[in-house]
Structure 1
Amino acid sequence: MTTPVPAEWSPHRAMWVGWPSHSELWEDNLEPAQAEVEALVRALAGPGREQVKLLVGKPEALDDARARFAGVDGVEVVDGRFGDIWLRDTGPIFGAGSASAAAFRFNGWGGKYELEYDDTVATQIGEASGVPLTRNDFILEGGALDHDGKGTILTTRQCLLNPNRNAGWTEAKAEAALTDSLAARKVLWLGDGLLNDHTDGHVDNLARFVAPGVVACPIAWGRGDPNDDVYDAVAKALSEMTDAEGQPIQVLRLPSPGFVGDEDEKPVPASHMNFLIANGAVIVPTYGDDRAADLACQGLKTVYPDREIIPLPSIAILSGGGSFHCISQQEPA
């Protein structure tokens, strides 16, 4: 790739979204997750917004998906195969104008969840979108990176330097790989991601570019937020960084969802940072605390005054380990 990956707030010609298709993975949460993704897709496909390409990963799920979106303008149901819906990680990263896209090796987040077909998703999306892929011989998930559109890439050491991805990687080796594959000009390194995040600390749950030189990251909300120290370390690190243009990073702190636990009250990696920036809208995942979600949305409105800020529940999707950003991938216009 010769020019940097466009920022997510730049115009898109389409947005890929994964459809929950595997009852054996989602079990009792399959129908609730489908309802949450349906709400996301309908919000994305609103007037003047996205052309949604909904990738269905199993033949048995096709008829239901087609029936749900029959007559909905802006939604194309695509028959495909995947292990699970996390297209941000398994799909390609599109370059400027979607003239090309970068594809990477995928190993199930360090060997934790190796599911059939996940390593073919990039090829399928490349073929369906008509975009030629440049293949890179190293392991990388799209959710491990965030882009400012000018060549600054934000990532975490916990994920990118994890020996379960690319053995022997150092910051220098990773930076060289990102420069070659994605035209990175500067890489900003954060430390650890959220507690119990099976992705080993993907940055799209932790900190996100929201404008040139501006990064949003959480501040702990309520009592017992398990990531309080992580959030403060991230904000401090960012405040001491500059982007590829040499401009100091401004930090926009937004309330976290607070403590969110599973059925055993073990903390799960819920994050408002997994918002999705779309044409005309920003879709923000919520997890049951309306006040925290409202304050996060108000903060995002300060940087996106011309976009509708749409909070939507993502509790069932979170049971699979991620949220709206994790299940999507944009094609830049």
Structure 2
Amino acid sequence: MINPKEEGFYFPAEWHKHEATWLSFPKNTDTWEDRFEKIYPSYFKLIKTISESEQVRINAHDFDLIKLIEEKLDLYSIDRTKVELFAHPTNDSWCRDHGPAFLLNKNDSRQLIVDWEYNAWGGKYPPYNNDNAIPAAISKALGIPSVKAGIVMEGGSVEFNGVGTVMTSKSCLLNKNRNPQLKQQEIEKYLCDFYGVDQVLWIEDGIVGDDTDGHIDDTVRFVNNNTVLTMIEKDRLDANYNILNENLEILKKMKLLNGESLNIVEIQMPDAVYDQGERLPASYANFCMTNANVIVPTYRSKYDDEALNKIQMCFPERKVVGIDSTDIIWGLGSFHCLSQQQPTNKLA
């Protein structure tokens, strides 16, 4: 088995130019029940916005679902030439976590897929065998070689600055429902070897309602090499107040590889979103980037505009597009969770 880092491979930051963005089309009634028609307007707006500047590649469970998607693409006036459909069986729609990690090479035009193991966030939602097979299916479809890391890892649990640093959360990666045989130092070695990084930075926990045990893409996101956007909660009575304040204090003490401290942009959490008494993991941090846009979930909250404006300031070269995620967040994830970028090789 090759060591990707030793071979010159690395996982680029999300703002690196994309060839495409991958999605896994929603079909799981355990996740979405009867809400598909409610989520379609926002989901297809996501597809349409991505397609403005890059290809959209969609894992579709079967040919019946492909037919439905094609009908909806026409209904929502989406250019079909910008959307590629792949008959790849899936269990659920969270492509960030079960999709492949696309690596580029620093020295040549080679690309590599890391095929991490996937166990539906600690075995919470079986079956997940189809989702675990998605990286291999995409590797075969694209003709990009893949390497198996042999441990459980989810794309939403890691955040990259593209120049040697990955950030993650202890509550997720050190959880015994993922890789109980590994200590923190061993997990760090896997991250460095298979993502091609030199530094692992740790925050503590994730937000209330997050069933992933604290994915970082709901709390802290790199917006450039040395700047992070972090969610905060000003209401001391809110359940997220202490969690996010502790993370903020940790971020203030962090040093990057060059010895510099992080630039930190603080964004207030949206008003709490509930469904049938359950707190949902609504966060503005769960945005995804495309070549032209930053797609930000909104929640019909009084804080939506403030969040969009702050995120726009972080991305002067891209247009921030807010899409209502109030129905999508009922599935316990939003646009970053649903998507996985495929970077363009810088030498290609």
Tell me if the contact between 1:15 and 1:331 (Cα under 8 Å) persists in the aligned partners. yes
Equivalences for residues 1-333 of structure 1 within 5 A: 1=4, 2-46=8-52, 49-70=53-74, 72=79, 73-96=81-104, 99-115=111-127, 116-220=129-233, 224-264=237-277, 266-289=278-301, 291-333=302-344
Question: Mean Cα displacement is larger for which, 21-30 or 201-210?
Answer: 21-30
- Offset at residue 235 of structure 1 (A): 1.2
Are the counterparts in 2 of residues 105 and 139 from structure 1 also a CA contact under 8 Å?
A: yes
Shift of 1:224: 5.0
Give the TM-score taking structure 1 as reference length: 0.94
Unaligned ranges ≥5, structure 2: none
Deviation (angstroms), 1:24: 4.9
Would the alpha carbon gap of residues 309 and 160 (structure 1) be closer, same or farther in structure 2, given more than 3 Å must change? same
Alignment deviations for residues 231-260 of structure 1 (CA, whole Å, 9 cap, x no partner) = 111111111101223221111111211211
**Aligned residue type for 2:18:** H
CA–CA distance in structure 2, aligned partners of residues 329 and 259 of structure 1:
26
Aligned equivalents of 1:132 and 1:43: distance in 2? 29
SS of 1:154's equivalent in the other structure is: strand
Give the Cα separation in 2 of the matches to 1:151 and 1:327.
25
Cα distance change on mapping 1:98 and 1:145 into 2, 3 Å: farther
Distance 1:168 1:311, change over 3 A: same
In structure 1, the gaps of 5 or more residues are none
**Cα pair 1:225 1:258 within 8 Å, conserved:** no
The percent of aligned pairs where both chains have the same amino acid is 32
Moved more, 14-23 or 106-115: 14-23
Q: Helix, strand or coil for the counterpart of 1:298?
A: helix
Q: 8 Å contact 2:234–2:268 — kept in the other structure?
A: yes
How many residues were matched structurally? 329
Q: Distance in 2 between matches of 1:152 and 1:98?
A: 22
Whole-Å separation in 2 of the counterparts to 1:225 and 1:42: 35
**C-alpha distance in structure 2 between counterparts of 1:271 and 1:36, whole Å:** 16
Instruction: Give the TM-score taking structure 2 as reference length.
Output: 0.90
Provide, for residues 97-141 of structure 1, a one-character-per-residue CA deviation record: whole Å limited to 9, x for no partner: 671111111111101012241111111222223211111111111
Residues 59 and 25 of structure 1: is their aligned pair in 2 closer, same or farther, counting only changes over 3 Å?
A: farther
| Distance of 1:171 and 1:288 partners within structure 2 | 39
> Does the 8 Å CA contact 1:11/1:279 hold for their aligned counterparts?
yes
Q: Distance in 2 between matches of 1:32 and 1:98?
A: 41
Tell me, what secondary structure is at the counterpart of 1:325?
helix
Change beyond 3 A, Cα 1:60–1:148: same
Is the 1:155–1:190 Cα contact (8 Å) retained in structure 2?
Answer: yes
Is the 1:20–1:34 contact (alpha carbons within 8 Å) kept by the matching residues of 2? Answer: no
Q: Name whichever of 156-165 and 241-250 sits farther off.
A: 241-250
Q: Is the 8 A contact 2:113 2:135 kept in 1?
A: no
1:221 shift after superposition: 5.7
* Contact map agreement 1:222 1:259 (CA 8 A) in 2: no
Which AA in structure 2 matches 1:41? Answer: I
Aligned-residue Cα RMSD (Å) equals 1.7
